Structure 1
Amino acid sequence: MLDLTKLAGQLPEISQHLQREAKAAQQRLERAQILLDEIQGRQEEFTAQYEQWRDRLIFNAALPLEPIDTCITIPTPPAQHSVFATDGSQIAPSHHEIAYCYLINVGRVMLHYGQNLHPLLDSLPELFYKAEDLYIARQWGIRPEEWMGHRRTVSEAQMLADMAVRWVQPPGAHTDPNLALVDGSLTYWFLEALASEARDRLLPPILTAWDQLYQERIPLMGYLSAPRNSEAINFLRFPACPHPNPDCIRHCRGEESNGELEGGRWQNRLPCQVVDPLRDATLWAYVLQPGQRGALWRSSAPILNLYPEHLRVSFCYVHVGTEIARVEVPQWLAEDEDLFHQSLGILLAQVHKGYGYPVALAESHNQAVVRGGDRARFFALLEQQMIRAGLHNVGISYKETRKRGSIA
């Protein structure tokens, strides 16, 4: 039980800390705006530096594909369009339950506007209980719970593509604008740390699903609410660099650290880290007006080297009215200006319909979520099946029994 009386004495310290940090953040923002102005007059020069010295950098910086001060008003969406979205949830494996298994539940949503058609809102559960499902990842040092999350990501991508492609292909022959939405990033950073054998089981099926969307020209967008990325901010390190060229390996190798906050100041920072730890969204909140998007950027995450060229990720920041959201798209969509802006219009309408968050993504989450009652009913059903199969001594561990029936 949380003792609020003891906690109350710590709250004044938090408020004082946040007040100091707000002042420091304002100073970082002012420095970032100065660097942004400097880039506007020399963007081609800094872009050339990026291309020439990118293999010598010790940080990941995105490359602007448009003028860095771009502010474009997003158009209104077409009257008739459809939106597809998936999201997943799971029941994690536990040795304290009656059986060691896990379940992935993927919520599917298909919403139609201006077409007098019924929506689709459902979920597809999948149960994993075989040894190859539970223990295969141990050879790569991956825990079953972690592997379950990776498998869920694959299932979400596959079901999204299957749902959208089935809708637009004959015999339906639906030609109205469409949009496929993903909750989160299209750049799977977590794959960088995995063994190649494990990565080869996860990434190819995702890319195959995305390629199916590409073949049908169905736009794909990843929506990140409250993003904490700093790829675009890192491009500001080029004008801040005090050296004649940004050769980090030669000038700064071994000097970079995450820094420590001492006396309200960040210590052990490189000369080019003058705005850290400022985030992209914080800067673009002062650049964009509601309903506008910023410049398109090409992500430089190393994992994208494994993506085919037309599926590599670009992104922009969008002022959706309630926040600055990061929107990621495959390269083929970023290169199709008309389709890209049409898709942004549909996305912005989804945010407005969802009161600050895309309604299709919110509903797919609601369809996928496994609540406590669902979990209890699932294991009750499993217990019945095990008893019918002639298994005896079916039950949970004593630890789980005590947790569920505390006498305190």
Structure 2
Amino acid sequence: MLDIAKLAGKIPGISQHFQQEMTASCQRLELAKTILKEAKNRQEELLESYEKWRDRLIFSAAIPMEPLDTRITIVPPPYSHSVFATDGSQISPSHHEIAYCYLINVGRVMLHYGQNLHPLLDSLPEVYYRPEDLYISRQWGIRTDEWLGYRRTVLEAQFLAEMACSWVKPPGAHHEPNLAMVDGSLVYWFLDGLAHDARDLILFPIQEAWEQLRAARIPLMGYLSASRSVEGVNFLRLHNCTFDTPNCTINCMDFGEEKAPCQVIEPLRDTTLWGESLQPGQRGPFWKSSARILDLYDESQRIYFCYVNVGTEIARVEVPAWVFEDQELLNQALGIMLAQVSKGFGYPVALAESHNQAVIRGGDRIRFFALLEQQMIRFGLQNVGTSYKEARKRGSIA
């Protein structure tokens, strides 16, 4: 139990710390705005420098595909359109439960506007209990609960493509504008460092699902609220470099714990910088992510992103290359996304509802294991029950 009286004495120190951080952040922001203006005038030069020295940089910088001062007002979507979204939740495996297994629940949402059609709001559960499901990841040193999160990402992509493509059929026929959305990034950073075989089991099914969406001309978008990315700000480090060439591996390896000369505005985030110049309903320039893991993606699936003032925050939205390169699909996706945020009072309503469909509450967990216990007893299994530790933790003498 948390002792609020004891905690209260620690709060003033936290407040004072964040006040100091806020003052420093404002100073960094003013400096960053000046650097951004200067970098705009040198953008072509900086791009050439990046292409020449990118393999010598010790930081990941996104590549601007448009002028740095780009400010474009997003066009509203047509009256009739559809939105598809998925999100997932899980019950992690525990040796203290009646059976060592895990469950993934994927919420699905399909919303239609201006078409007089019923929405789809449901969830699809998948249970994994076989040894090949529970222990396959251990050969690569990956914990089962960690592997569970990766498997959930795959199911979200597969169920999204299945739902959207089943509706938008046959390909090529006339359909109302639409958008497939996922919560979070399309850049799967967690794949970096995984064994090749493990990575292939995750990435290949996801890219197959994306390819189904591309074939059906259903734009895919990842929506990131409160993004912490600094990929755009990192591009400005090329402008801040004090050396003749931005060869980090030679120039900056001796700084150790000290900041390199180009890190004058860190840890400023992209959203903070672009939030200063974007009006509600506007987007900034599109960027091509240069995250190392994207080298494993097909060229048509490389990720581009921009920042959008959705009215309540600066959101980062990501799309695959095949969406970015199709102006019609891109404008369609951005317009529908902004309308979804408006309908959801600050967050895309389709994503919020898919989360609500997916979430597993305490009562759901209890009912799942109760149902499992009934079935195990019915099949003659003996001594079915939780561990003494788990049973004792569920009660209290206080």
With the shorter chain as reference, the TM-score category is over 0.9
Q: Which residue of the partner structure matches residue 265 of structure 1?
A: none
SS of the equivalent of 2:160 reads helix
Shift of 1:360: 0.2
Q: Which residue of the partner structure matches residue 119 of structure 2?
A: 119
Share of identical aligned residues, percent? 69
Shift of 1:17: 1.1
Shift of 1:4: 1.2
- How far apart in 2 are the matches of 1:160 and 1:113? 19
SS of the equivalent of 2:126 reads strand
- The AA in structure 1 aligned to 2:20 is R
Deviations 1:141-196 (A, max 9, x none): 11110001100000000000011111111399551101000100000000002111
TM-score, scaled relative to structure 1 = 0.96
- The AA in structure 1 aligned to 2:352 is A
Q: Return closer, same or farther for 1:300/1:38 CA change in 2, 3 Å cut-off.
A: same
- How far apart in 1 are the matches of 2:148 and 2:268? 33
Alignment counterpart, residue 334 of structure 2, candidates 331, 344, 352: 344
Deviations 1:72-106 (A, max 9, x none): 00001111100000000001000000000000000
Q: Which residue of the partner structure matches residue 93 of structure 1?
A: 93
Shift of 1:303: 0.6
Higher mean C-alpha deviation, range 218-227 or range 335-344: 335-344
1:4-403 maps to which residues of 2 (within 5 A)? 4-170=4-170, 173=173, 175-255=175-255, 257=257, 268-403=258-393
Q: Return closer, same or farther for 1:253/1:405 CA change in 2, 3 Å cut-off.
A: same
Higher mean C-alpha deviation, range 14-23 or range 137-146: 14-23
Gaps of 5+ in 2: none
Shift of 1:9: 1.3
- Runs of 4+ in structure 1 deviating by more than 4 angstroms, as ranges, are 171-174
- How far apart in 1 are the matches of 2:5 and 2:397? 25
Asked if 2 retains the 8 angstrom alpha-carbon contact of 1:167 and 1:174, the reply is no
Q: Return closer, same or farther for 1:256/1:311 CA change in 2, 3 Å cut-off.
A: farther
- How far apart in 1 are the matches of 2:371 and 2:159? 26
SS of the equivalent of 1:351 reads helix
Shift of 1:42: 1.0
- How far apart in 2 are the matches of 1:305 and 1:54? 14
Note the aligned Cα RMSD (angstroms).
Answer: 1.1
- The AA in structure 2 aligned to 1:208 is E
- The AA in structure 2 aligned to 1:166 is S
Asked if 2 retains the 8 angstrom alpha-carbon contact of 1:316 and 1:327, the reply is yes
- The AA in structure 1 aligned to 2:300 is H
Gaps of 5+ in 1: 258-267
Asked if 1 retains the 8 angstrom alpha-carbon contact of 2:222 and 2:319, the reply is yes
Asked if 2 retains the 8 angstrom alpha-carbon contact of 1:58 and 1:253, the reply is no
SS of the equivalent of 2:78 reads coil
Shift of 1:254: 4.4
- How far apart in 2 are the matches of 1:339 and 1:135? 42
- How far apart in 1 are the matches of 2:288 and 2:204? 21
Q: Return closer, same or farther for 1:143/1:2 CA change in 2, 3 Å cut-off.
A: same
Deviations 1:11-57 (A, max 9, x none): 11111111111110011001111110011111000011011100110
- How far apart in 2 are the matches of 1:58 and 1:42? 21
- How far apart in 1 are the matches of 2:259 and 2:394? 50
TM-score, scaled relative to structure 2 = 0.98
- How far apart in 2 are the matches of 1:144 and 1:169? 37
Q: Return closer, same or farther for 1:347/1:171 CA change in 2, 3 Å cut-off.
A: closer
Shift of 1:332: 1.1
Q: Return closer, same or farther for 1:288/1:392 CA change in 2, 3 Å cut-off.
A: same
Q: Which residue of the partner structure matches residue 260 of structure 1?
A: none
Q: Return closer, same or farther for 1:174/1:385 CA change in 2, 3 Å cut-off.
A: farther
- How far apart in 2 are the matches of 1:256 and 1:214? 45
- The AA in structure 2 aligned to 1:99 is A
